[in-house]
C-alpha cells in the first residue's frame, strides 16, 4: 500500500475512535496523535486491527486498533460471549472464570471483561487478585465452567499484555471453537456494540477456596513423600520474577513438605514493570541471575523460577564442580519423564495403558525412555493446547503420566490442561530430594539418564529476515526445503522427511510415501538422519524469522565420556548449520 493511501486509511480509522463510544481519555490521545506532524505513532497504532488469533490476543498496550486496550479486549470478550451463548444456548446458566497476572492493566482488563460477560448474562468467577494461568485452568474444571480467560502476555517484555481464551475442559481453544470465536470477534466493528455495563449480581469473587483446592489436588501427584521428609530442609531458592507464582509456588512447596524455601526479595515485588530484569523469561540467564546469586550466598542446592503467569518453569542446578548451570527446556522435560516413569514403575502403577506427550520439536530421548519402559508416546504440534488435545482424546481410555515441550513447559497432572510451573516446581524439588536419597545430585541424575538412554544436544537457531522482502525470502527458503528435500545432512543420510503442511512424509531408504497422523496441518518440515539427528524447520507465526530446531544424538558408556560427546555434538550442530545454509 502506498504511503499516502496508508495514511488516509489510518486517519479514517482513527477518526472513528473520536465518537462518544470511546472514553474522553482515549479520544484525547487519538486527537494528540492526529495533530502530530510525525505520523509514525498514529500509523503504528491504527494501520491494522490487532488480531484475535487461535491463541487469543497479544500486543503492545496503548490506544488504537493495533494495541491492547479496553476496546480491543472488550471486542474479544463480546465476541467470545456471543459464541458461548450460541454454543451453550441450552444451558440455564453459562459460566466463565477470569484470571490475570501482574502486568500493568491486567486487573483493569479483567474487570472490564467481567462486566462484559455479566452484561451478556454470563456468570463470572473472577479471582480476587493475580493468579497463575494453570490455576485458572484448574478452576474452569473445578467450577464446571464453559470457558475462561487469563489476562497475560506470558514472558513478553513489560510493554505487552494479552488475552488467552480457554474451553470447558480447561485447555486453550482449538478448532472449531477458536475459529468460531474469531469469527464472532471479527463481527464487532465499533465500541458501541460492546456491552460494558456489567451486572454485579452475576460476578462472584473467588480466591482462597480455589487456592486450597488446587494445592490439595497438587499434593495427590507426589510420588516420593518419604524422600521429601528426609530432605525437607534442602535449601531451595525460588523467584516468581515479579509474577503470579509469588504465593502459590512457595505455599505448594510447603504443602509438599519443604521447609527451607529462600526468597529473592527484590523479585517478590509484584510489578508489571519487571524492575530487576529486561525480560521476565526464565529461559534467559539474566532473569535468573539474582536467584542464582542468592543460591550461592546461601549455599542452596536448587534454583527454581517461573514466568509472570507461572506456566513456564526455569531451573538452575549445581554441576560436579559445584557451579550453578541453567537446565534447558529439553533437559527439564527429560528429567520429568524419566522420574515420573521410573517412580510409576517402582510403585506398580504401570498397567500398560499409560502415555506421555511431547511436541514434535522436543527431544527424541523422551521417546526412547517411554518405549523402553512400555509407555506409549504421543507427538503433537508446538503449543500446549495440542498436548491438551491428546489428553482430551485419551480421556477415559488411557492414563496420562506427563507432557512437555522444549520451551520450558511441563504438566504432571491431568486436572489442569495447560503447562503448570506450580506443579513443575514442586515435582522438580521432589526429584532433587529423591536423587539425594539415591546419593546423587540432579546434575548427576541427568548425566546418568544420558548414559542409560543416549546423549542428546539440542539447539534452537533463528534466522531473522526483516520486512516484506524478508518474508518473501523465508517463504522461498521453506519452498526450497519442501520441494527439494536434502538427501544428506552433515555427512549423514536422511532417512525420513516429513512435511506437516501436506501431512505427507517420505522414507528415503525404502522410497515409500508416509501419511502423517496429525489433527491438522502446520507449516513445519522435519528431517531425520541415519546418525540420529533431527532437524525441524518452521517460520515464526509472530516474528520475521525462520526457526531451526536441531537435535543431535550420541552414545556414551560412562559419565566420563560425556564431555567429549558434548564437544562432538557441538561440532555436528555446526556442520548441520552449514548443510542447511544458515
CA–CA gap between residue 249 and residue 253 (Å, rounded): 6
Tally of CB atoms within 10 A around 221: 17
Q: Write out the three cell numbers for 394.
A: 485419551
In the DSSP assignment, the letter for residue 567 is: H
Catalytic residue among 118, 154, 492, 579: 154
Residue 489 region, left (φ>0) first, then alpha (ψ -120 to 50), else beta? beta
CA–CA gap between residue 74 and residue 193 (Å, rounded): 10
Q: Are 527 and 497 in contact (CB under 8 A)?
A: yes
Q: Are 292 and 316 in contact (CB under 8 A)?
A: yes
Q: Are 416 and 422 in contact (CB under 8 A)?
A: no
CA–CA gap between residue 221 and residue 202 (Å, rounded): 34
Neighbouring-strand partners of residue 493: 488
Complete DSSP assignment for 217-275: HHHTT-S-HHHHHHTTT--EEEE-TTSTHHHHHHHHHHHHT---EEE-HHHHS--TT-T
Q: Give the side-chain half-sphere CA count within 13 A for 256.
A: 33
CA geometry: angle 232, 237, 242, nearest 5 deg: 135
Residue with cell 522444549: 406
* Residue 21 is among the residues annotated as catalytic for this protein: no
Q: Are 235 and 299 in contact (CB under 8 A)?
A: yes
Q: How far is the CA of 505 from the CAs of 390, 510, 513, 520, in angstroms?
A: 21, 12, 6, 15
Burial (0-12, 13-18, 19+ Cβ within 10 Å), 193: middle
Q: Are 580 and 489 in contact (CB under 8 A)?
A: yes
At a CB cut-off of 8 Å and minimum separation 6, what does 523 contact?
Answer: 478, 500, 501, 538, 539
Backbone angles phi, psi at 463, to 5 degrees: -105, 115
Q: Are 493 and 483 in contact (CB under 8 A)?
A: no
CA–CA gap between residue 205 and residue 98 (Å, rounded): 10
Closest Cα partner for 307 from 434, 157, 437?
157
Q: Which residues are catalytic?
A: 154
Amino acid at each position: 500500500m502506498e504511503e499516502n493511501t496508508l495514511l488516509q486509511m489510518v486517519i479514517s480509522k482513527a477518526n472513528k475512535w473520536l465518537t462518544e463510544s470511546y472514553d474522553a481519555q482515549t479520544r484525547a490521545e487519538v486527537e494528540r496523535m492526529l495533530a502530530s506532524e510525525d505520523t509514525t505513532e498514529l500509523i503504528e497504532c491504527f494501520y491494522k486491527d490487532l488480531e484475535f488469533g487461535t491463541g487469543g490476543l497479544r500486543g503492545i498496550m496503548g490506544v488504537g486498533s493495533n494495541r491492547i486496550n479496553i476496546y480491543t479486549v472488550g471486542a474479544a470478550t463480546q465476541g467470545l460471549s456471543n459464541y458461548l451463548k450460541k454454543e451453550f444456548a441450552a444451558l440455564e446458566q453459562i459460566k466463565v472464570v477470569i484470571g490475570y497476572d501482574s502486568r500493568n492493566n491486567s486487573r483493569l482488563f479483567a474487570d472490564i471483561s467481567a462486566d462484559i460477560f455479566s452484561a451478556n448474562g454470563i456468570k463470572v468467577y473472577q479471582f480476587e487478585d493475580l493468579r497463575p494461568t494453570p490455576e485458572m485452568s484448574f478452576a474452569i474444571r473445578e467450577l464446571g465452567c464453559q470457558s475462561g480467560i487469563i489476562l497475560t502476555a506470558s514472558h513478553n517484555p513489560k510493554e505487552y499484555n494479552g488475552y488467552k481464551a480457554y474451553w470447558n475442559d480447561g485447555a486453550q481453544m482449538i478448532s472449531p471453537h477458536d475459529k468460531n470465536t474469531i469469527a464472532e470477534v471479527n463481527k464487532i466493528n465499533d465500541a458501541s456494540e460492546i456491552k460494558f455495563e456489567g451486572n454485579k449480581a452475576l460476578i462472584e469473587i473467588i480466591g482462597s477456596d480455589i487456592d486450597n483446592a488446587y494445592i490439595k489436588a497438587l499434593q495427590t501427584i507426589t510420588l516420593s513423600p518419604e524422600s521429601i521428609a528426609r530432605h525437607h530442609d534442602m535449601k531451595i531458592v525460588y523467584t516468581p520474577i515479579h509474577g503470579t507464582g509469588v504465593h502459590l509456588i512457595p505455599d505448594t512447596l510447603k504443602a509438599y513438605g519443604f521447609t527451607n524455601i529462600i526468597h529473592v526479595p527484590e523479585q517478590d515485588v509484584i510489578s508489571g514493570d519487571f524492575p530487576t530484569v529486561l525480560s521476565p523469561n526464565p529461559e534467559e540467564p539474566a532473569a535468573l541471575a539474582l536467584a542464582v546469586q542468592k543460591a550461592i550466598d546461601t549455599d542452596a542446592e536448587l534454583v527454581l523460577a517461573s514466568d509472570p503467569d507461572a506456566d513456564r518453569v526455569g531451573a538452575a542446578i549445581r554441576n560436579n564442580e559445584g557451579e550453578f548451570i541453567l537446565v534447558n527446556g529439553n533437559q527439564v522435560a527429560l528429567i520429568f519423564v524419566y522420574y515420573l516413569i521410573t517412580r510409576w514403575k517402582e510403585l506398580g502403577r504401570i498397567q500398560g495403558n499409560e502415555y506421555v506427550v511431547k511436541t514434535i520439536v522436543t527431544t527424541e530421548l523422551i521417546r526412547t525412555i517411554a518405549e523402553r519402559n512400555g509407555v506409549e508416546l504421543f507427538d503433537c504440534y508446538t503449543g500446549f493446547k495440542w498436548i491438551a488435545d491428546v489428553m482430551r482424546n485419551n480421556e477415559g481410555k488411557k492414563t496420562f503420566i506427563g507432557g512437555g515441550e522444549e520451551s520450558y513447559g511441563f504438566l504432571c497432572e491431568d486436572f489442569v490442561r495447560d503447562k503448570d510451573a506450580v506443579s513443575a516446581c514442586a515435582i522438580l524439588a521432589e526429584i532433587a530430594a529423591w536423587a539425594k536419597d539415591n546419593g546423587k545430585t540432579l546434575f548427576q541424575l541427568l548425566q546418568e539418564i544420558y548414559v542409560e538412554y543416549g546423549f542428546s544436544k539440542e539447539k534452537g537457531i533463528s534466522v531473522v529476515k526483516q520486512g516484506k522482502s524478508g518474508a518473501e525470502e523465508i517463504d522461498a527458503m521453506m519452498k526450497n526445503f519442501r520441494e527439494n528435500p536434502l538427501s544428506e545432512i552433515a555427512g549423514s543420510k536422511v532417512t525420513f522427511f516429513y512435511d506437516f503442511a501436506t501431512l505427507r512424509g517420505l522414507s528415503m531408504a525404502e522410497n515409500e510415501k508416509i501419511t502423517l497422523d496429525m489433527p491438522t496441518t502446520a507449516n513445519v518440515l522435519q528431517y531425520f538422519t541415519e546418525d540420529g539427528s533431527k532437524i525441524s524447520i518452521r517460520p515464526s507465526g509472530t516474528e520475521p524469522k525462520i526457526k531451526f530446531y536441531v537435535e543431535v544424538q550420541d552414545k556414551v558408556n560412562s559419565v566420563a565420556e560425556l564431555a567429549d560427546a558434548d564437544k562432538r555434538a557441538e561440532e555436528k550442530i555446526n556442520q548441520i548449520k552449514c548443510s542447511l545454509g544458515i
